[in-house]
Amino acid sequence: DAKTTQPTSMDCAEGRAANLPCNHSTISGNEYVYWYRQIHSQGPQYIIHGLKNNETNEMASLIITEDRKSSTLILPHATLRDTAVYYCIVRVASYNQGGKLIFGQGTELSVKP
Amino acid sequence: DSGVTQTPKHLITATGQRVTLRCSPRSGDLSVYWYQQSLDQGLQFLIQYYNGEERAKGNILERFSAQQFPDLHSELNLSSLELGDSALYFCASSAKIGLAGGTGELFFGEGSRLTVL
């Protein structure tokens, strides 16, 4: 699985967009980008994933650069409840290969009033 | 609520002891994963089972073992416990072996916090 690099921490003002970057310069053509978050010692929570097109769901948007070497997770209107550690994970989506996710250190996002 | 149930939520025991952590996956999910999260190591993948069979192994110590039963619940057994085994242990489940064919989502439980004194 390709390695990812994320900033250790970020701050965001409540109500503003939070843009969390992730570098994955060694990503392979069949590897997806997954985002999870973990709110203070709770179980990690899936946010979104994508291959090469931008994706949006009710939680967030995922923007993947054309060369797929980096991506940005966007929380459009951050709230205090979005304070969490955000993990960017690159993984093959296979039918036969185990679905384990390898978590790095992630980005600790602090949303401030 | 992810639908994944882990018991017990908290467990305090002594060094050298043995404990069993239990996980009930979401209804219909066939894959179960175990993760360990300690303060200095982050989230570490331990092992995956699919429909009763071991599918992937990570950094799981020989003192630890796991199994998945016919009703799909899973147990993680930790023996000869050491102080360093104190951690949060998470179970996750997904519908299939891999991440394809669905949302690619792993559903995590709330964890079992193990304290070894």
Rounded distance, CA A22 to CA A104, Å?
11
pLDDT band, residue B102 (cuts 50/70/90): low
Q: What is the DSSP letter of B83?
A: G
**Mean pLDDT of the region B40-56:** 91
**Cβ-count burial of A8 within 10 angstroms (0-12 exposed, 13-18 middle, 19+ buried)?**
exposed
**Cβ-count burial of A28 within 10 angstroms (0-12 exposed, 13-18 middle, 19+ buried)?**
exposed
Which of B96, B105, B108 is opposite residue A43, by nearest beta carbon?
B108
pLDDT band, residue A5 (cuts 50/70/90): very high
What is residue B104's predicted lDDT score, i.e. its pLDDT?
67
What is residue A100's predicted lDDT score, i.e. its pLDDT?
82
pLDDT higher than 80, residue A87: yes
A86: which 2 tokens?
């955000």
Does the CB of A86 have a partner CB in chain B at under 8 Å?
A: no
pLDDT band, residue B38 (cuts 50/70/90): very high
* Nearest residue in A to B90, CA atom: A43
Rounded distance, CA A66 to CA A14, Å?
30
Interface test with A, best of B2, B9, B105 (most A CBs within 10 A): B105
pLDDT higher than 90, residue A66: yes
**Mean pLDDT of the region B73-78:** 98
What is residue B105's predicted lDDT score, i.e. its pLDDT?
85
- Is cis: bond before B8, omega within 30 of 0? yes
Dihedral pair phi/psi, residue A99, rounded to 5°: -90, 20
Does the CB of B5 have a partner CB in chain A at under 8 Å?
A: no
Which of A42, A92, A96 is opposite residue B97, by nearest beta carbon?
A96
**Mean pLDDT of the region A27-50:** 92
Rounded distance, CA B59 to CA A15, Å?
40
Question: Would you tell me which residues 75-104 of chain B have a C-beta closer than 8 angstroms to some C-beta of chain A?
Answer: 88, 90, 92, 94, 96-101, 103-104
